[in-house]
Amino acid sequence: MSDKRVAVVGYGRIGATHAENLARRVRGVQLVAVTTSNEERAIEARRLLGDVAVYADLDTLLAREELDAVVIASSTSAHVDNVVRCAAAGLPIFCEKPLALNLSDCDRAIGAVEKAGVPLMMGHVRQFDAGHVEAKRAIEAGAIGQPLVIRAISGDVDPPPPSFANPAVSGGLILDAMYHDLYISRWLMADEVIRVYTEGDALVDAAVGAVGDVDNAVVSLRFSRGMMGTMFVSRTTRYGHDLRIEVIGDEGAVQIGHFRHTPVRVLDRKGVHHDMAQTTPERLGEALFTELQVFADCLMEGADPPVTGRDSRATVAVGLAATQSMHQQTPVHL
């Protein structure tokens, strides 16, 4: 069976990571093209990826390449239009989260892929991280009894540029950065969120606040079976890229996360020191590869993807409700 010809739409930070994995590690696929309108990134793509075409936009890509699938890693605000156009071209799609910035656009994208009869897999990367997979197995095996509470911390070292932080582009802190915690909480707890309450503010970066976003937020969750959750998300965890989750049950608890990037500690008169992951690719690099390999396997086997557009829609609904709660300063029911 010949390798599937795949292109990456959007060669930004996550698009570059996906492109390198497709070019060098993922079995069963051949990376043939990427898109970017940024000339510096185009030069970088040609230097790092070798014999791979670089196009300025999706229309040119679709007109010039014979493709078997696409990986959409463009800006969040462009996801839905790119999904619709690729679905109309009959292409299986892997799309970075979230599917869209509102529920009507989620429905438009889902409708387009269902009408075209093409698979759509969402980039829910933590579902493919070894720690989260093992925690899910332990919970399902009854190791902690009945889950009661989930707690999460998700932090980036520095805020993004205001142009990205703008909620019209990224969806805002909660929909952009807390999205991962919201979907993984639904997955680990095997339940849906029915109520949220949010506190958030631009406590550190005035430029983020000036475009209508916040840099730190806390969301309280209530699940349909009575379980509870607390999510903390930050753009300003200066010490490193901090990802931690704990699920507490009536017979025990399971914790996910680590601080050390490399298994080395230095001990001296001043104390104990170690490094820490600074970016998502550093912390979740193997999971970013694994999810693309799963997508490639689905292409080769004709199997349904494990994470669909409807999974993203459900998460977007929670993120939108949490954002609404923050602005209205009142609990919001889903």
Nearest to 293 by CA among 1, 52, 71, 13: 71
Rounded mean pLDDT of 306-315? 97
- Note the pLDDT of residue 273: 81
Exposed / middle / buried, residue 330 (Cβ in 10 Å: 0-12, 13-18, 19+): exposed
**Nearest 5°: phi and psi at 216?**
-145, 140
pLDDT at residue 67 in the model: 98
* Whether pLDDT at 276 is above 90: no
Q: What band does 239 get if pLDDT is binned at 50, 70 and 90?
A: confident
Percent of the chain with pLDDT over 90: 88
Once rounded to an integer, what is the mean pLDDT over residues 298-311? 96
Phi, psi values for residue 174, rounded to 5°: -70, -50
Dig out the tokens for 130 from the structure: 């070894």
Nearest-CA neighbor of 217 among 232, 203, 206?
Answer: 232
- Do 316 and 176 form a contact (C-beta atoms < 8 A)? no
pLDDT reported for residue 60:
97
φ, ψ at 35 (rounded to 5°): -120, 140
| Section 127-149 average pLDDT | 96
Q: Is the Cβ–Cβ distance between 286 and 126 less than 8 Å?
A: no
Higher pLDDT, 278 or 146: 146
Pairing of β 53-55 and β 29-35: parallel
Ordered strands of the 69-72 beta sheet: 53-55, 29-35, 4-9, 69-72, 93-96, 120-123
- Band (pLDDT 50/70/90 cuts) for residue 267 is confident
The pLDDT of 126-133, averaged and rounded, is 94
Q: How confident is the model at residue 266 (pLDDT cuts 50, 70, 90)?
A: confident
Could you give all domains of the chain from N- to C-terminal order, each with its CATH number?
A: 4-125 (3.40.50.720), 127-284+314-333 (3.30.360.10)
Confidence (pLDDT) at 268: 79
| Stretch 68-85: mean pLDDT | 96
Query: Where would I find the beta strands (DSSP E) of 156-292?
Result: 193-201, 216-223, 228-234, 242-249, 253-256, 266-268, 271-273
Reported as a pLDDT band with limits 50, 70 and 90, residue 241 is: confident
Q: 174 versus 283: which is more confidently predicted?
A: 174
Q: How confident is the model at residue 274 (pLDDT cuts 50, 70, 90)?
A: confident
pLDDT band at 277 (very low <50, low <70, confident <90, very high): confident
